[in-house]
Amino acid sequence: MSLFSLIKVAVDSVLSVLYPEVCISCGNHPPIRKDIFCLDCKSEMLITDHFDVKKNEFVRKMEARVDLLHAAALFPFITSGHAQKAIHALKFLNRPEVGIILGRQFGEMMNASPHFIKPDLIIPIPLHYKRQQKRGYNQSLMFAQGISESIGVSPSSKYLIKSQSIISQTTKGREDRFENVLNSFQLKSFKNLKGENILIVDDVMTTGATLEAACVKVSQIPEVKIQLATIVIAND
């Protein structure tokens, strides 16, 4: 057994207490082993084709705006669907393990994908510290940690920082929204990241404004290569 496998087994056993006792969506049945959904809910869920298709929906939404190696979401967003319930629990019901468990699954899909290239670093979309204090964790970092366990690459929150709180974006148009998000991000101490392959992760891909802003900032790194990962993709 390799050192990494040993570490992974150790981490799995430490984190095993985090598996939910009932399905995160229906709340009725026990989840499948190492999952958050029961068999009934899981069998109703669609998985995207993003890991197998080079020009997938995610890539097509982003490619005119940023230069990418690849991008993928695990699930399509369906209103009141199982994935939406998982995102709701992750963001609003103090269930950080949802991000970790879905991150592990994402990482396994990445390992099997012919289109993802193993990154050097994972950067989660940051939360403003006030929001993080309120929630208790950054949901994107939880997702990043799960991916990290499956692919053996560390996440770091020290490079991309959120410097101002955005009160409301609902009244803003797409351009304003993008500028607003862009101005709220700062890239720090990135000189040692030259030429690295960076996986930027977020919980939900909707308009892509947040991910685009993060890509613009991360592109300050000379010769950087970028890949994107989210739990769900929604129609904007």
Polymer length in residues for the chain: 236
Distances (CA, A) of 97 to 15, 155, 218: 9, 16, 27
Q: Does 15 bind Zn ion (CB under 5 A)?
A: no
Q: Which residue, 105 or 210, is less far from Zn ion as judged by CB?
A: 105
Residue with smaller CB distance to Zn ion, 9 or 18: 18
CB of 89 vs Zn ion, minimal distance in Å: 12
24 binds Zn ion (CB under 5 A): no
Regarding 26 and contact with Zn ion (CB under 5 A), the answer is yes
Shortest Å distance, C-beta 20 to Zn ion: 10
25 forms part of the interface with Zn ion (CB under 5 A): yes
User: CA-CA distance, 177 to 209, in Å (whole number)?
Assistant: 7
x/- map, 29-48, Zn ion, by CB under 5 A: ---------x--x-------
> For residue 12, which amino acid is it?
D
Distances in Å between the alpha carbon of 106 and those of 90, 173, 203? Answer: 16, 32, 12
Local structure of 36: helix, strand or coil? coil
Binding site for Zn ion (CB under 5 A): 23, 25-26, 38, 41
